[in-house]
Amino acid sequence: MTKKIMRSAIDAGFRWSAAHRILREVVERERHWSGGMFSYGYAVNMFANAAKYRDFWERRSFSHSSVHLTPLGTYFAFQGNSGRVDWTGAYVREDGTIGRFQGRHNYPLYCVGCGRADLRVADEFMCTAEFSLPATLLIKIPLNPGGGHQPTERRAEAAWREKARLLEQEHAAKAPPIVEPPPPPAPAPRPQPVHERPVKPRGPVEALLISVLSSLWGTFKFLLLIALIGLAAGRK
Ligand SMILES: [Zn+2]
């Protein structure tokens, strides 16, 4: 009953302690964040920018063990050489929220595969388990606006849209009562007057035929009655 929630620093609802904040200031003052091209800070920024888009996570989902997963469902990946300096990376939460974290001060980082991912030996930024982001989460992540020009990328996007459409259908099938009632009354009255119009000219003709036939029937019955009376009179 006293099971502790293993909330990671990157999970929603994480509370920063005073100790965290002090450490954060220390880490953010460190030199390795500054510098130009080819510096560590530049590489980290490139990584964080790429992590805003779906292809980044899609690629990692298919490359083995580069994605970690917190017990609360947040997927995260470390920047390739950040293990030697600190633990820096990017994450995607269950609702599709994307963010970045910089440095060891973002502790703890629990992983259901490898344990405390931020306490692992330097250079081992990969997970010991294999995680891939589910399709339902991947479609929440925006596409890279710079991509999509290659035929393969267009095909991939078409496949994703189809998958998203099927998922939406599944959701719609689960909750139909609100959607179902309005359609039947709307289309029903509209076609009826349209069909009645071509029928209308036939209406009087039919009515005339029926009235003629019914009057003929009445005449026939009258003649039959006369004939029967005649027959009856003839027998006497
Ligand atoms: Zn892991």
CA 147 to centroid of ligand 1, rounded, Å: 29
Residue 149: predicted pLDDT: 59
Q: Does the pLDDT value for residue 184 go beyond 70?
A: no
Considering only residues 105 and 126, tell me which one the structure prediction assigns the higher pLDDT. Answer: 126
Taken in order 104, 110, 113, 115, the sign of the CA dihedral is: positive
Distance from the CA of 75 to the center of ligand 1, in angstroms? 9
pLDDT value at position 178? 44
Give me ligand 1 centre to Cα 127, in Å: 4
83: number of Cβ within 10 Å: 19
pLDDT at site 180: 42
CA of 115 to the centre of ligand 1 (A): 6
Query: Mean of the per-residue pLDDT values for the chain?
Result: 79
- Residue 186: pLDDT band with limits 50, 70, 90: low
Judged against a pLDDT cut of 80, whether residue 199 lies above it is answered with no
Q: Are 94 and 137 a contacting pair, CB within 8 Å?
A: yes
What is the CA(184)–ligand 1 centre distance, in A?
52
| pTM for the predicted model, two decimal places | 0.61
40 alpha carbon – ligand 1 mean position (Å) = 23
Q: What is the Å distance from ligand 1's center to 213 Cα?
A: 90
39: CB partners within 8 A, 6+ apart? 32
Please tell me the distance between residue 197's alpha carbon and the centre of ligand 1 in angstroms: 71
State mean pLDDT over 50-76: 90
Q: What is the 3-state secondary structure (H, E, C) of the chain?
A: CCCCCCCCCCCCCCCCCHHHHHHHHHHHCCHHHCCCCCCHHHHHHHHHHHCCCHHHHHHHHHCCCCCEECCCCCEEEECCCHHHCCCCEEEECCCCCEEEECCCCCCCCEECCCEEHHHCCCCCCCCCCCCCCCHHHHCCCCCCCCCCCCHHHHHHHHHHHHHHHHHHHHHHHHCCCCCCCCCCCCCCCCHHHHHHHHHCCHHHHHHHHHHHHHHHHHHHHHHHHHHHHHHHHHHC
**Among candidate residues 80, 77, 78, 70, the one with its CA nearest the CA of residue 109:** 70
> What percent of the chain has a predicted confidence (pLDDT) above 90?
28
| 129 Cα to the center of ligand 1, angstroms | 6
Please, which residues have CB within 8 angstroms of residue 94's CB and are 6 or more apart in sequence? 72, 73, 74, 137
CA 34 to ligand 1 centroid distance, Å? 28
CA of 144 relative to ligand 1 center, distance in Å = 26
Q: What is the pLDDT of residue 20?
A: 83
Q: What is the pLDDT of residues 8-34, one digit of tens each?
A: 999 999 988 888 888 878 777 776 666
- The per-residue pLDDT for 109 is 93
pLDDT at residue 133 above 50? yes
